[in-house]
Structure 1
Amino acid sequence: MGTTQAGGGATVRRLLLGTQLRKLREARGVSREEAGYSIRASESKISRMELGRVGFKERDVADLLTLYGVEAEHERATVLGLVRDANATSWWHEYGDVLPAWFQNYVGLEEAVSEIQSYEVQFVHGLLQTAEYARAVITAGGHVTEAEEIERRVELRLKRQALLTCDHAPRLVAVLDEAALRRPWGGPELMCTQIERLLDLADLPNVRLQVMPFGSAGLSAEVGAFTLLGFAEPDLADVVYLEQFTTALYLDKPAEVAEYRHAMGNLLADSLSPEVSRDLLHTVRKEL
């Protein structure tokens, strides 16, 4: 087993390794089918490797480097070193029993980003939730009933929140629909505490919180919740994350990402400014 890595290190290295292998393959004019044949695998396996969505066997990568004409020992050593780092175990591995495979990808990406942009309609964003709010939302979902599993999911969500105050914290731009503030998860006292939490987090220099008020027309009526993940590494493409009930979609095609980036710009323009959003938060808290 590999060593344990904090943060999104393993995820980033897996993505970078996949990107590097794709570039080497394309430069050599090798098809995915040919590459798969060389390591006794399918074309789809090569695709998943190049997208950083599977683990890597050192022997497979060594064989691919040979196929791609990478013969210099120092070049091979650099790439093979990435294999070991990419296969490291991340901190959330211990939560594998309560963390769906489709969400493990998101947690890894979340810790590797330089910027997170999100639009939430029904819930407060997970990185901004109190423990009580998270517990109420998880319980209300109905598909988790065991008390121990609920608490482990809450604990995982709280550990993710350390991201916002770490040394290399990403920028979080969050647009929150007013409906999420008005929905009484767990009762007035719980929601009052949650709104106070939002007010505190909005003071962080890397957090920008804006509320989409009731009565606002336009794009907000057509767009569902989504998260846009941006990376500082030039070789890593931005990713749009769309969560569904039992799975999630990850979009990374430039045209698709551009549409969501444009949508986010419109949502920010249509929602209340950070200052006016803060005033609304105070108003909602007083009305509880």
Structure 2
Amino acid sequence: MRHGPAVRRRKLGEELRSLRHTTGLTSREAARLLGWHQSKVSRIETGASGVTPRDVTRLLDAYDVDDVHLRSLLEALAGSAGGGGTGWWHAYRGLIPPQYRDFISLESQAGAARTLETSVVPGLLQTAGYARAVTRSSLDGLPPGQLDSLVEVRLARQGVLYAPSPLQLSVVLDEAVLRREVGGPEVMREQLDHLAHAAQLPHVHMQLLPFEAGSYIGLTGPFVIFSFPNISDLDVVVLDHLTSSLYLERREDLEAYSSAFRTMQAHALSPERSLDLIAAVSRGD
């Protein structure tokens, strides 16, 4: 099992090695330029150790990388891969487990996400009332203060949909997500209205898999595929379990899940008909 920081350390190392090769430098020459031991460059490139955003900046300077967006992304990647950086979620590190922080950091850096949900509304599309009901039921006995903070985290994550360069989100939802009453009728009405609104955002592509579609390839469980701009081979599939998350990065895994997602999109309702279904469920049809 690979965890988020380990995946990102290795991917970051691969990208830095590729940039070094482009300059024609050997690892020994790069280390000499920076006043480092060659072993430090090697550990960074193999993902054996973390690297600080400051050291990534120095490497990019040495490799004459002037792409501002690429530099920003690699520096942020270093921070979330165990290199000493911080994100807004670190303020909650005493409350949320490491695997959840890993997931949020991936989500915050991704350019696009494809997600299948079979049971609940995805976190990025939940209302406060729905998020509270889901969190309360999944973490029974949680003190009110902690519950409030976890809902706060869930809502803060949604900032990626309203950023200047928002996350491109493609969602396939099982019809059961709409019909499973979470938090009571009023909470569900508000949630369905919110889904209908979110589905009309230009960077959100939402499709519903109706019951009449029968069994389908993703029925066994939800997943998320994160894609990242300007970095080769960084896409990752995340499978959530009760106590941990599994990160899949092998090319064959990515191809299999990407193919499965395309198949489900082909069998799902169009975005327009999906909006009709949301409206029908909201009316009680």
CA displacement at 1:287 relative to structure 2: 0.7
Q: Distance in 1 between matches of 2:53 and 2:229?
A: 27
Q: Could you tell me which residue of structure 2 aligns to residue 266 of structure 1?
A: 263
Match of 1:131 among 125, 128, 141: 128
CA displacement at 1:117 relative to structure 2: 0.5
CA displacement at 1:284 relative to structure 2: 0.5
Q: Could you tell me which residue of structure 2 aligns to residue 34 of structure 1?
A: none
Match of 1:207 among 191, 204, 208: 204
- Within 5 A, what are the aligned runs for 1:159-238? 159-220=156-217, 222-238=219-235
Q: Distance in 1 between matches of 2:53 and 2:103?
A: 25
CA displacement at 1:46 relative to structure 2: 7.3
- Within 5 A, what are the aligned runs for 1:1-288? 17-23=12-18, 38=39, 47-49=46-48, 55-56=50-51, 75=62, 86=79, 87-143=84-140, 145-220=142-217, 222-287=219-284
Q: Distance in 2 between matches of 1:58 and 1:167?
A: 23
CA displacement at 1:56 relative to structure 2: 2.5
Taking structure 2 as the reference length, the TM-score comes to 0.77
Total equivalences in the alignment: 257
Paired residues of 2:14 and 2:46 also in contact (CA < 8 A):
no
CA displacement at 1:59 relative to structure 2: 11
Taking structure 1 as the reference length, the TM-score comes to 0.76
Paired residues of 1:116 and 1:229 also in contact (CA < 8 A):
yes
List per-residue Cα deviations over 1:87-126 (Å, max 9, x = no partner).
3211111011222111211111111111111000011000
Paired residues of 1:228 and 1:241 also in contact (CA < 8 A):
yes
CA separation of 1:76 and 1:272: change in aligned 2, threshold 3 A: closer
Q: Distance in 2 between matches of 1:135 and 1:83?
A: 34
Question: Which 5+ residue runs of structure 1 have no aligned equivalent?
Answer: 1-9, 31-36
Q: Distance in 2 between matches of 1:138 and 1:177?
A: 20
Q: Distance in 2 between matches of 1:141 and 1:272?
A: 30
Q: Distance in 2 between matches of 1:59 and 1:134?
A: 37
Identity of aligned residues (%): 34
Paired residues of 1:14 and 1:83 also in contact (CA < 8 A):
no
Question: Which 5+ residue runs of structure 2 have no aligned equivalent?
Answer: 29-37, 66-71
Q: Distance in 2 between matches of 1:269 and 1:90?
A: 37
What is the letter of the counterpart of residue 19 of structure 1? Answer: E
RMSD of equivalent CA atoms: 3.7
List per-residue Cα deviations over 1:203-245 (Å, max 9, x = no partner).
1100111111113134346441000111111335211011110
CA displacement at 1:60 relative to structure 2: 9.6
